Amino acid sequence: MYAIPTAAEILGVTPNALEAALERGETIATVTRACGLDVEHMKESLIDAEVPDIEALAMIAGFDSEEISQFATEVRSYVASFVEHGQQVADLWFDSPAVLAA
């Protein structure tokens, strides 16, 4: 996942410093706001860093365009949740029955 290095670069901090903040209970959103940056821009930047690779890998693996589109939608939702609420919440969302049944 490119979220930590990409977010760290946007924030102007090292990935280790960002990970330390996340371990203290901060989220990427709270750190972004504290730095005076736009959270929506952060989300879009992280999504832009993640989705193309997932789409390419899914295409190589032989998934059809509908399945690839679904993967991309799930990644967008996961990244948005990860930014706002942290990895644990995003993981819970991703592992929820509603997502698994989709």
Distance CA 37, CA 94 (A): 27
Q: pTM to 2 decimals?
A: 0.84
The mean pLDDT of 53-63, rounded to a whole number, is 93
The pLDDT assigned to 98 comes to 53
The structure tokens 């990644």 sit at: 75
The pLDDT assigned to 66 comes to 94
| DSSP percent split of the chain into helix, strand, coil, nearest 5 | 80, 0, 20
Distance CA 60, CA 88 (A): 30
Mean pLDDT of the chain: 91
Closest CA to 54 of 76, 71, 74, 70: 71
